[in-house]
Structure 1
Amino acid sequence: MNYYELLFIVIATEDYQQDMLINTLGEVGFDTFEELEFGFKAYIRVNDFDEAKLIDAIEPYREMFTFSYEITLIPQKNWNEVWESNFEPILIGDKIYVRATFHEPRPEFEYEIVIDPKMAFGTGHHQTTSMMLQLMLENEFAGKNVLDMGCGTGILAIMASKLGAEKVTAIDYDPVCFDSTIENAQLNNIDNIEALCGSKEVIPNDQYDTILANINRNILLDQILSYSEILKTDGELYLSGFYEQPDLDIIMDEARKYGLKYIIHKKDKDWVAAKFVK
């Protein structure tokens, strides 16, 4: 699958202005961002890109601050080179070490996750993935039935298994992510992850102790009813992929409608990961 890379040059007076622009891009289909000193890069699948829709979405911000963008096509065959040239190991506290296949092991870490950096997103570099991993470390997964929605590379599903989950179901609508999750599970010698390709319509008819969903605000709002229906009483729901303002309040209000109680959240550069309990 081919992607467009949009390089945004941003001249803003406040940090939150760029964050607002990134959030809007997420709402029109962009699924990964790389922040730079002078702006950021945004990535979207070629089949999902509609420049007229993009222009309509970002036009209101032109009166607030100055920005421009350039579009570059990244063919799938070049994506591995892009990832490998930018992929560095990640440390989550002193517990988790996330590395690529071409990095040396670090046996001093309690948990090591090996990710083959292909065109599936969710390698741990983004704040949302890191915060989800931190929340997972602080909670109990042993013996639980876990669902990972929007699994990307499968990193959260793999972590759930390493934390003792009995069974993990990992779902993503992107076939590349589906294949990547299977491959990365094998790289980590994990045999209790079932990967499925699709969205909420492919969720098995089962009840889950824990649900992980690191996606974006609009998809979470669309799927949160489904989560509540398959989550056991006292089950835990971990959500990320959105900002503290205004997204967290919006998601909390929607969660409350379906008996999901907000417990706590982590914040990193305005991004949020939150825990709810049914």
Structure 2
Amino acid sequence: MLHEFSLLATKQMAEPLSDFLMEHGAYSVSIEDADADTDQEKPIFGEPGTELDDFAWDRSLLKVLCPDDFNIKAVVELSAQELGIETPTIENVVEVPNNDWVRITQAQFTPTRIAGDLWIVPSWHEPPNPDAVNIRLDPGVAFGTGTHPTTRLCLEWLHDHSLSGKSVLDYGCGSGILAVAAKKLGASEVLGTDIDPQAIEAANYNAEVNQADAHFYLPEQMPEGKFDVVVANILSNPLRILAPALLGRVKSGGHLVLSGILERQADELIEVYRSYRPDSPLSVWKSMDGWICLAGQIA
């Protein structure tokens, strides 16, 4: 049996106390806003590009997962002595059963039909239809398992447009799911790029598992060239900044597909791209759960 202790910590205590607990045998420590769902709740994570004055909560709640023989009282008292802080308050303790968390987590991810015969199938499941376009994918560190509306919108666009013989660039590839889908849907050449080396590693792995001839690069290694389709599932602020770069990667007559955009951000982003290429307007292709996909043919 495991135990999860809840400790109340000040802004200054939270990080060093978390490190101390892990060094002394805690399995994991998560930090939450102790004032969540109250008038004192404080946002510290914003969309990229937003400015925040502080990146710590005034009061934090540390959720500490420990083995059964972990002496939490002794450890917090020792932390006060060694860190020179007030002894943390133990707010709560709950027992956590030793479940098979891998099996429980896997049960949350089942085969998902995206559109037509396009499916996302976790590796621990058999494809419902072996003859369909099945993308085998495991949840990992890189964003993009096909379940989020922004990813689904891009996948649906790729499915609904003929890619036969076309080149595709997946900009901000994450897990590589869009690149893999493009290749399995008939694209002749598929490249992807991401700033995160772990994403490149995950994308290469997923391409190999799916026997998809797609290649992934860090930005500084990305080859020159233009593509018939450029798809970018990022967030609105990076998409604003990247507008010239993305437009510059699309062949004349090619398509630009953007997602990671909230409905309220659509008009602004359309105007940003129009300011660079007035003759190549984007428009809302489809929306889902408050998110939208912009697409347009570049003159």
For the Cα contact (< 8 Å) 2:230–2:249, is it kept in 1?
A: no
TM-score, with normalisation over the residues of structure 2? Answer: 0.66
Structure 1 residues 209 and 3, CA gap change in structure 2 (3 angstroms): farther
Distance across 1 between alignment mates of 2:272 and 2:198: 31
- State the match for 2:256 in structure 1: 237
TM-score, with normalisation over the residues of structure 1? Answer: 0.71
Post-superposition CA distance 1:123-170 (Å, at most 9, x none) = 001000011111111112111111101111111001110111111111
- State the match for 2:54 in structure 1: 52
Q: Which runs of 5+ in 1 are unaligned?
A: 13-20, 30-49, 56-67, 75-79
- State the match for 1:107 in structure 2: 129
Equivalenced residue count is: 228
Q: What is the CA distance between 1:83 and its match in structure 2?
A: 5.8
Post-superposition CA distance 1:159-189 (Å, at most 9, x none) = 1101111111111111221111111111111
The two structures, once aligned, show a CA RMSD in angstroms of 3.4
Give the secondary-structure state (helix, strand or coil) at the position aligned to 1:235. Answer: strand
- State the match for 1:42 in structure 2: none
- From 214, 222, 229, the equivalent of 2:233 is 214
For the Cα contact (< 8 Å) 1:25–1:54, is it kept in 2?
A: no
Whichever of the two has the greater Rg, that structure is 2
Q: What is the CA distance between 1:72 and its match in structure 2?
A: 6.5
For the Cα contact (< 8 Å) 1:96–1:109, is it kept in 2?
A: no
Give the secondary-structure state (helix, strand or coil) at the position aligned to 1:261. Answer: coil
Q: What is the CA distance between 1:116 and its match in structure 2?
A: 2.4
Q: What is the CA distance between 1:10 and its match in structure 2?
A: 5.3
Distance across 2 between alignment mates of 1:186 and 1:9: 43
Which has the larger share of helix? 1
For the Cα contact (< 8 Å) 2:282–2:294, is it kept in 1?
A: yes
For the Cα contact (< 8 Å) 2:173–2:179, is it kept in 1?
A: yes
Distance across 1 between alignment mates of 2:124 and 2:152: 21
Post-superposition CA distance 1:225-271 (Å, at most 9, x none) = 011112111110100001010x1111100111222312442111111
Moved more, 103-112 or 224-233: 103-112
The reply to whether residue 142 of structure 1 matches residue 164 of structure 2 is yes
- State the match for 1:32 in structure 2: none
- State the match for 2:191 in structure 1: 169
- From 270, 276, 280, the equivalent of 1:252 is 270
Distance across 1 between alignment mates of 2:211 and 2:177: 13
Q: What is the CA distance between 1:6 and its match in structure 2?
A: 5.8
For the Cα contact (< 8 Å) 1:97–1:109, is it kept in 2?
A: no
Share of identical aligned residues, percent? 28
Give the secondary-structure state (helix, strand or coil) at the position aligned to 1:204. Answer: coil
- State the match for 1:155 in structure 2: 177
Q: Which runs of 4+ in 1 moved over 4 A?
A: 2-12, 68-74, 80-83
Distance across 1 between alignment mates of 2:241 and 2:61: 31
Distance across 2 between alignment mates of 1:73 and 1:149: 38
Distance across 2 between alignment mates of 1:161 and 1:108: 17
- From 247, 252, 255, the equivalent of 1:228 is 247
For the Cα contact (< 8 Å) 1:151–1:171, is it kept in 2?
A: yes
Q: What is the CA distance between 1:106 and its match in structure 2?
A: 2.1
For the Cα contact (< 8 Å) 1:263–1:277, is it kept in 2?
A: no
Q: What is the CA distance between 1:96 and its match in structure 2?
A: 1.5
